[in-house]
Amino acid sequence: MRVNRRYAGWLVMAIVLTAGCGRLFADRTPAATASADVQRVTFDIVARDNRCEPAVLAADREGRSLLITFHVASVGKQHVFQIPDLAVRKTVPAGTEISIPVLADRSGIYSYGCTGLAWLGPLDARGKLAIK
């Protein structure tokens, strides 16, 4: 049986929608259990106008795991804070602040973002998190 390419695309989209888009856009954070000797860092972030302030964050692991706690405050409207490469996605209601703990055990430069459009996700990551 041969399927027309145009119909195949529609079929895939229908399957995704039927399977539940909620899982694609659901809040998630990785488990952040850490031992007592882990290094700890806290960043204060303000989500405003579909962007995060500050736009650049840096932390040094000093050769061990790093427990980063993001304190994210949403100003003006609801925002979604996300770090796609670390599997972090959290909705922050307008006028509130939440804490998001993330355990980083590897160095790298990660894109992060704050957007008011939940479906836009990783395409709107404008900030950079550098972990050395």
The verdict on residue 52 lying in a domain is yes
Q: Which pLDDT score is estimated for 20?
A: 45
The verdict on residue 64 lying in a domain is yes
- Based on the structure, what is the number of domains in the chain? 1
The verdict on residue 11 lying in a domain is no
Q: Yes or no: say if 129 and 112 are a contact pair by the CB < 8 Å rule.
A: yes
The verdict on residue 109 lying in a domain is yes
For the record, the structure tokens of 61 come out as: 């692991």
Where residue 59 sits, what CATH number does that domain have? 2.60.40.420
Per-residue pLDDT of the chain (132 residues; tens, 9 = 90+): 555 666 666 666 655 555 444 444 456 555 556 667 788 899 999 998 888 899 999 999 888 888 999 999 999 899 999 888 888 999 999 999 999 999 888 899 999 988 877 655 555 557 899 998
Instruction: Residue 103: give the domain boundaries.
Output: 39-131
CB-count burial class (<10 Å; 0-12, 13-18, 19+) for 90: middle
The verdict on residue 117 lying in a domain is yes
* CA contacts within 13 A on the Cβ side of 71: 4
